Amino acid sequence: MNILIKLWAILFLSMSSSCDSAKTASTDREPENKTVNAMESKLQAEGYLSAVIKYQADSKCTYVLVDDKSQLKYDPINIDEEKFMSFKKDSEKVYFKYRALRMMNRCDDAQPIEIEDIKKRED
């Protein structure tokens, strides 16, 4: 009976320690994109949207921001300002904060906006 209790205790301790080691190993590893996700969460909390800039040569809206989640298109009327010139690249991934404008659309499929702030995305 005494041997059975000792054997049971050894089995129990070995099983419980092996379960803890697996939990420790999985929590020690950090995901590769943890900092990207943290930055994205912070920017989204501040009101930024993630988008891709699309160049349209044959349109009145030469540069359009396409929201990653909703696929809505935005026409940034102030993208020609000097502080935004570096973002005028086709397929550039950005975070942006905007102000909606109450004016007629320059093109049918995009809502006119004024960019308040824009940041390059590191995806």
Tens-place pLDDT, residues 85-98: 999 999 999 999 99
**Confidence (pLDDT) at 26:** 47
- Between the CA of residue 64 and those of 22, 30, 86, what are the distances in Å? 48, 36, 15
HSE-up of 110 (CA within 13 Å, CB side)?
A: 23
Q: What is the mean pLDDT of the chain?
A: 85
The DSSP code for 80 is T
**Confidence (pLDDT) at 35:** 76
Measured distance CA(68)–CA(93) in Å, rounded: 9
For residues 112 and 33, which has the higher predicted lDDT (pLDDT)? 112
Tens-place pLDDT, residues 10-55: 777 777 665 544 444 445 455 556 777 888 889 999 999 999 999 9
**Percent of the chain topping pLDDT 90:** 58
